[in-house]
Amino acid sequence: MPIIQLQNVSYTYNAGSRDKVEAVKDVTLQIEEGSFVALVGHNGSGKSTLAKLLNGLLLPTSGSVSVYGIDTKRSESIYEIRKNVGMVFQNPDNQMIASIVEDDIAFGPENLGVEREEIIRRVDWALEKVGMSEHKKGTPFKMSGGQKQRLAIAGVLAIKPRVLVLDESTAMLDPRGRREVMQVAKELNRQEGITVINITHYMDEALGADRLIVMNEGKIVLDDTPSKVFAQHEYLKSIKLSVPPVTALAVRLAEQGVPIDTAVTTKEELVEELCRLL
């Protein structure tokens, strides 16, 4: 059974007024449980709107969204839906609540009324999952961008979601921070079976996904394996998406069996990566 199902979903901001925006148009989509999906598209293509439709933060103007078979329009189930579909956003600083790491992670389950002992277990588990156990008593505000985003993920994990949606969660990070966050997302997918939907504008991040969905002007225009999508260079270019040349080179090397990290977007990173291999 698909964990998330969208049937002819459209979403219009300011519907009925002069400045209405049709952000998502007639999207039909199924997300399989346990999959790792990347979603790309240039600015304004509707990715964040789609993300917010997945957990009931927005309700479709027309069509339906269901999570585990429950329609997001059923208001009595909204907590259940939000609990199942956790979201991490772009700016790590906007996602910190408490001044001590463990309190920050505990915030979600506390709000759900989880009992104290279970909260303690979850905080330890979530911090371990994102590789931040030693920072339990630390101060979130003093951490690097990558660490902050890993804490934001831990905060969501403490709610025990089945789906993790990352909405450009690596956009403000340096290459190292990006790698840290992607590593965590991949491990959660492989080890915990958590379904991951990674919205990104880094085409290289899409590479490791099982499935790559491309949006343009509110519609899904490509939905296939990353290699099949990347093969459509010309089309991608026409919708203002392109595989960065350096990434394209790394991808080709990886295809030839070179154990290179393809998450490189600049010459400097490629050189660094090649030196590491020598």
Residue 209: both structure tokens together: 């996904």
We find the least distance from the C-beta atom of residue 153 to ligand ADP, in angstroms, to be 19
How many angstroms separate the CA atoms of 2 and 128, rounded? 29
We find the least distance from the C-beta atom of residue 227 to Mg ion, in angstroms, to be 25
Backbone angles phi, psi at 154, to 5 degrees: -60, -40
221 binds ligand ADP (CB under 6 A): no
Nearest residue (CB) to Mg ion, 27 versus 251: 27
Write the binding mask 39 to 78 for ligand ADP: x where contact by CB under 6 A, - elsewhere: --x-xxxxxxx-----------------------------
**Secondary structure of the chain: what % helix, strand, coil (to 5)?**
45, 25, 35
Nearest residue (CB) to Mg ion, 48 versus 216: 48
We find the least distance from the C-beta atom of residue 276 to Mg ion, in angstroms, to be 32
Q: Which of 3, 4, 9, 23 binds ligand ADP (CB under 6 A)?
A: 23
User: Quick one: 18 exposed, middle or buried, by C-beta within 10 A (0-12, 13-18, 19+)?
Assistant: exposed
How many of the chain's residues bind ligand ADP (CB under 6 A)? 12
Using the contact rule CB under 5 A, the part of the chain among 47-55, 76-84, 222-230, 233-241 near Mg ion is: 47-55
Q: How many CA atoms lie within 13 A of 250 on its CB side?
A: 26
Nearest residue (CB) to ligand ADP, 6 versus 251: 6
Nearest residue (CB) to ligand ADP, 50 versus 101: 50
48 binds Mg ion (CB under 5 A): yes
How many angstroms separate the CA atoms of 97 and 120, rounded? 17
Residue 229: left (phi > 0), alpha (psi -120 to 50), or beta? alpha
Residue linked to tokens 């992670």 = 105
How many angstroms separate the CA atoms of 186 and 206, rounded? 12
Q: Judge whether 65 and 2 are in contact, CB under 8 Å.
A: no
Contact partner, 21, from Mg ion, ligand ADP, none, Cβ < 5-8 Å per class: ligand ADP
Using the contact rule CB under 5 A, the part of the chain among 41-49, 65-73, 243-251, 254-262 near Mg ion is: 41-49
Q: Which residues from 67-86 bind Mg ion, rule CB under 5 A?
A: none
170 binds Mg ion (CB under 5 A): no
Using the contact rule CB under 5 A, the part of the chain among 32-40, 45-53, 65-73, 100-108 near Mg ion is: 45-53
How many of the chain's residues bind Mg ion (CB under 5 A)? 2
- Crossing angle of helices 101-111 and 116-129, in 10° steps, is 130
Q: Could you tell me whether strands 2-13 and 62-67 are parallel, antiparallel, or unpaired per DSSP bridges?
A: antiparallel
How many angstroms separate the CA atoms of 234 and 37, rounded? 22
We find the least distance from the C-beta atom of residue 211 to ligand ADP, in angstroms, to be 18
The residues of the shown chain that bind Mg ion, judged by CB under 5 A, are: 47-48
Site residues (vs ligand ADP, CB under 6 A): 13-14, 21, 23, 41, 43-49
